[in-house]
Amino acid sequence: MANSINNLIANLEAAIEDRKTPLCNEKSLKGFLNESKPGPKRSEVKEQIGTEPVWIDVYQNSSLSSGKLEIRKSGDQHAFIGALSSDDRDAFVNSLRICARTKDLVRGASIHRELVQSGLLEKCSDALVTMYVKCGELEKAETLLYLHKSKLAFAWTAVIAGYTHQGRGQSALDCFKQMQHEGILPNSVTYKCALKACALIKSTDIGRDIHKKVSSRGLLQEDPGLGNALVNMYVKCRAISDAQKVLEELSSRDVVSWNILISGYIQEDEVEQALDCVEQMQHKGILPDLVTYVSALKACAKIRAIEMGRHFHQEITMQGLLQNNIELGGALVNMYAKCGKISEAQRVLEELPFRDVISWSALIAGYVEEGQAEQALKCSDQMQHEGIVPDAVTFVYMLRACAILRETKRGRRIHVEIVRQGLLQNDIILGNALVDMYAKCGEVSVARCILEELPFRDVVSWNTLIAGYVQEGELEHALNCFEWMQIDGILPDAVTCACVLNVCSQQGLIQKGQTLFMNMITKYGVKPSLESYTCMIALFGHAGHLEKAVRLVQEVSAAGSTTLWHALMGSCQKSADVNVAEWVFEQAESLDKSDESAYVLLGNIYAAASLEGQVKRLEGMRIRNCY
């Protein structure tokens, strides 16, 4: 038993030092824990060994009176606390600190009750606030602030920080406002927490107000971290130009400041500007770190800037950064894959000292995007052979590979594994990939069953199923799906409308097509796409309403596109209307004299009308203008 006790004490003291290992919980460590400050540590731990409670005394040089020590040694904790006076406030405060570190809410609440009984609550209220914050009981912590009218900035800041940690930005800002109403001056830590709260709820106005206050008080010069918090707030509020301005005005800029700004530009899809920031940062003598390189590689991947990506790869290799960072390796693989350099992506992955599911998924995705579905599935097999379990992202690309290859059997096995891992409960993208795989493999009825069982459905889910029915020629089912999705509360998008208009065109459903086309803007809030206009022109052409097709093209501002004129010429071919076809050809030729498709379409119309002379004349024009 002595060894067990000694081990427990050693573990306890080590945990207090590193603040990582839980010190006390209901099952293992129960007791009144104290640290004297200043001076040697004190703690008293009650451990349940077998069925007998054992009090472990590790107090050194205790300042307690002999009478109080006797009560403590008797094991009667409540009597011990009852004997304490106001001079013993530190014992309670230090106990609350330990409860805060260990998130021991049960013990902390017990101490709270003892403080009420002993009359020391007001003197210990700030420590109690901190304990409740650390244990996640923020409403209790904030109530204590109000009841005891705390004047300490750190206590208010603790509550504000707690709210931001929980993602409750508005509650944090409400507390921040109340703190100032109580006449308590925020410090730089408070302002950083408040700026984080502004970032959470995208409150640019409050963020700007805080910016003015910290500038007027000169806090930006005292605390570089406050400047970074400001840059981050503007970035998260999508005020990227303000973020850039703040960074330029900072007296001290570090790699963190630049990283925040770079990530902001990537978030706004201003990728070239992000890469310019990396260059500026290096020009000012600030070396990129792991975070910088991950962002830079992501930017290169977005715009397929392979040469710049290779340059960053060289810098990373020279600094030996790949040895200790698996995320950076994954970013490199992803960059090469997105740039279409799949063999280089494969080589990078093979040379990584550590590989994880993210790096493998990036490679698998690259193979799928390049149309090399078989190689993608081979990579997934190799990954699992290394003992790495696929995640939702990996499964999405594995399913896409199966869809390309129409590998239903492999897709079913993947489906079983997805269900076994319970991944469909929270991932709609994965659910849609399953629907897509079955639909493209020709099993549309299974795809529909999957869709109906998904916990969440979106417009992509329904578009996938509609496209599956169209692929299989089950056009009535496709139209039914269009109705079902609206009953499901999901509005069509441009993709849905184009697909359904195509069905109407094939079926000759001119009235239904016209109604849908009008509803796109008035009912669904969808701007008709070029594809939608093309479908409507084809629909009118199929129904023999060439004049309506001509009128539609004339009304469209996008008539500057040769695609619409080609569609209209196709309608002329169905109507065998040579005169309108020649007029349409002139419109297309005015946009592009070397538009070979226009020559071919008009040539077919002339040939169908047995106008051989016109065919030869047109061919001569084609040779002169197109070659």
Mean pLDDT, contiguous 10-residue spans, the chain (627 residues): 37 38 31 29 29 26 45 52 57 84 87 79 84 90 85 91 95 95 94 96 96 93 91 96 93 92 95 96 94 97 96 94 89 96 96 93 96 97 96 98 97 96 93 97 96 94 96 95 95 94 89 92 89 89 86 75 85 82 85 83 85 84 75
Q: Which of 456, 490, 524 is the last residue of a domain?
A: 456
Q: Contact 526/493 with Cβ under 8 angstroms?
A: yes
Among the candidates 456, 488, 520, a domain finishes at: 456
State the pLDDT at residue 76: 54
Whether 186 is in a domain gets the answer no
pLDDT value for 80 = 53
C-alpha to C-alpha distance for 15 and 9, rounded to whole angstroms:
10
Residue 605 included in any domain: no
Residue 29 parent element (H or E): strand 29-30
Please, which residues have CB within 8 angstroms of residue 244's CB and are 6 or more apart in sequence?
261
**Total domains present in the chain:** 2
Range of the structural domain that residue 398 is part of:
355-456
Q: Which pLDDT value is given to residue 67? A: 53
Spatial distance between the Cα atoms of 161 and 141, rounded to a whole number of angstroms: 12
The residues near 167 (Cβ < 8 Å, ≥ 6 apart) are 200
Instruction: Provide the β-strand partners of residue 44.
Output: 57
Half-sphere CA count of 60, side-chain side, radius 13 A: 6
* Cα–Cα distance list, 560 to 529, 532, 551, 566, 588 (Å): 14, 16, 15, 12, 9
Could you say which of 98, 130, 150 is where a domain stops? Answer: 150
Closest CA to 55 of 74, 68, 42: 74
Q: Are 85 and 22 in contact (CB under 8 A)?
A: no
Cα–Cα distance for residue pair 53/51, rounded to 1 Å: 7
Assign residue 556 a region (left: φ > 0; alpha: ψ between -120 and 50; beta: otherwise). Answer: beta
Residue 140 lies in a domain: yes
pLDDT, position 341 = 96
- Which backbone phi and psi does 438 adopt, to 5 degrees? -65, -40
Domain assignment present for residue 527? The answer is no
DSSP state of 218: T
What burial class does residue 627 get, using C-beta atoms within 10 Å of its C-beta: 0-12 exposed, 13-18 middle, 19+ buried? exposed
Sheet order of strands, 44-49 included: 29-30, 44-49, 52-57
Measure CA 382 to chain center. Answer: 28
Place of tokens 């992506």: 345
Which neighbouring-strand residues pair with 45?
Answer: 56
Cβ burial of 517 (10 Å; 0-12, 13-18, 19+) is buried
**d(Cα 292, Cα 33) in Å, to the nearest integer?**
44
Note whether residue 103 is domain-resident.
Answer: yes
Residue 324 covered by a domain: no
Domain assignment present for residue 378? The answer is yes
**pLDDT of res. 51:** 27
Query: Is residue 182 situated within a structural domain?
Result: no
Determine the 3-state secondary structure of 470 from DSSP: helix
